[in-house]
Amino acid sequence: MIYFDNSSTTKPCERAVAAVNKALCEMWGNPSSLHNMGLEAERLIKDSRETIAKALNADEKEIFFTSGATESNNTAVFSSAFTRGKRRKRIITSQTEHPSVLAPIKRLEEQGFEVIRLLPDSSGAISPKEVLKYIDKNTLLVSVMSVNNETGAINDISGIFKAVKAADKEIYTHTDAVQGFLKLPINVKTLCADMISISGHKVYSPKGVGALYIKKGLNLKPFIVGGGQEKGFRSGTESVPLITAFGEAVSEYSKTLSERYEKAERLKQRLKKNVEALDGVYLHEFNNHLPYVNSLTVSGYKSETLLHFLEEREIYVSSGSACAKGKKSDTLKAFGYSESELDSTIRISFCADNTEDEVDRLVFEIQNAMKSLVRIRR
Ligand code: PMP
């Protein structure tokens, strides 16, 4: 089996699986309980919080666990509005954000907020200058993703947020860093982000856990209220097994960023070189590009058909993002893909364990697909 769909989800690492098991079988107390079992569970959460804080160069008090990046993104948007949304009504974001950013922003738009949705420029990035053009006294939030999940295009987040904060430090800055976390270095001391969303299952942990970094002193109003867990910011009994697993995976993978990056770059170059020999097959590359996420057009062949052809040979890729569920991607449209490219593009996303032999097998099978499948007629 060859798995090239790591931007959808990754295989949990052994340490994460062992941590889930241990927390479920041996340390299953409620972290809010005052007895020993509760304290033990609380200690597991604290360890995880410290590990994740360290990976972002943050303080542990700045890390809030959530059920995943969808919740982190919803919280960032809605908490901003709950806190300062009476006075400030403008939100600046990009058209290529994940739906878990776009949908809560749309909800606010329906309630009277004004939304500016920027397009990437010809280099594939949101330009800081373009963001600055739309900043005014009414601006509540600027939310721009770190790396696009469908194309791998990287945004200059610190450039954008520094410019925003220089214009008005009261504007909240948020980045969805799901696809960049543990692939690119993220240092909260230099990023100028007030909020950062991350997700466990993109970094070798189980699904259903994530975190939101919130800069100290921001005093945001919570989005999920109830029993007052997570210092009152995110109510709900913490999922100790998932949070512990998240911490274990981050501890394992935060030490090898540059080695893994170089490997992903080698795999990407191999893919690029191999497909050059095939007629009408090409990678979409952007000036600033994360080599883990690769968008590959196989002209004249429907992406879904190609995906299933590869699946039958136990090679797993994606058509667009898993969240788009086969529908034509608005994100790729926003990146300027043509109508025919929208129909015939697959995403190849790497992880630390993929090999050059696997890339060769993929290209060999794409070649076979081109011989056996019927071309799309236009
Ligand atoms: N943002 C981005 C960029 C993503 O790729 C994803 C996952 N597809 C999410 C947010 C949502 O993360 P989760 O599955 O943890 O809710």
Q: Could you identify the atom of ligand 1 that is nearest to the CA of residue 209?
A: 15
- Do 265 and 328 share a domain, yes or no? yes
Q: What's the rounded Cα separation, in Å, for the pair 146 and 79?
A: 20
For the whole model, what pTM was predicted? Answer: 0.97
Which CATH number covers residue 26?
Answer: 3.40.640.10
Residues 84, 127 within the same domain: yes
Kindly report the protein residue whose alpha carbon is nearest to atom 10 of ligand 1: 69
Judge if 89 and 78 occupy the same domain. Answer: yes
Q: Return the closest-CA partner of residue 369 out of 295, 317, 293, 291.
A: 317
The mean pLDDT of 180-201, rounded to a whole number, is 97
Number of H helices, E strands in the chain: 13, 12
Of the candidates 309, 311, 289, 307, the residue with the CA atom closest to the CA atom of residue 344: 307
CA angle 363, 367, 372 (to 5 degrees): 140
Tell me, yes or no, whether 273 and 200 share the same domain: no
Q: Does the structure show a pLDDT above 60 at 148?
A: yes
Pair (27, 164) in one structural domain: yes
Which H helix or E strand runs over 93? strand 90-94
Nearest atom in ligand 1 to the alpha carbon of residue 71 is 16
Pocket of ligand 1 (CB under 6 A): 68-70, 98, 100, 145, 149, 176, 178-179, 199, 210, 323
Same domain, 245 and 118: yes
> What atom of ligand 1 comes closest to residue 323's alpha carbon?
8
Q: Give the percent of the chain with pLDDT over 90.
A: 96
Of the candidates 157, 148, 155, the one whose C-alpha atom is nearest the C-alpha of residue 96 is 148
276 in the same domain as 169: no
- Residue among 25, 192, 323, 351 flagged as catalytic: 323
For the cut 70, the answer to whether the pLDDT of residue 323 exceeds it is: no
Counted domains in the chain = 2
Mean pLDDT, the chain, whole residue set: 96
Distance 37 CA to ligand 1 centre (A): 33
- 351 as an active site residue: the answer is no
**CA-CA distance, 367 to 109, in Å (whole number)?**
46
Q: Which percentage of the chain shows pLDDT scores above 70?
A: 98
> Which domain range does residue 371 map to?
2-9+257-376
Question: What does the pLDDT read at residue 347?
Answer: 97
Q: Phi and psi at residue 278, in whole multiples of 5°?
A: -100, 135
Do 116 and 203 fall into the same domain?
A: yes
Same domain, 263 and 214: no
Distance CA 72, CA 288 (A): 25
Q: What tens digit of pLDDT does each residue of 13-36 get? A: 999 999 999 999 999 999 999 999
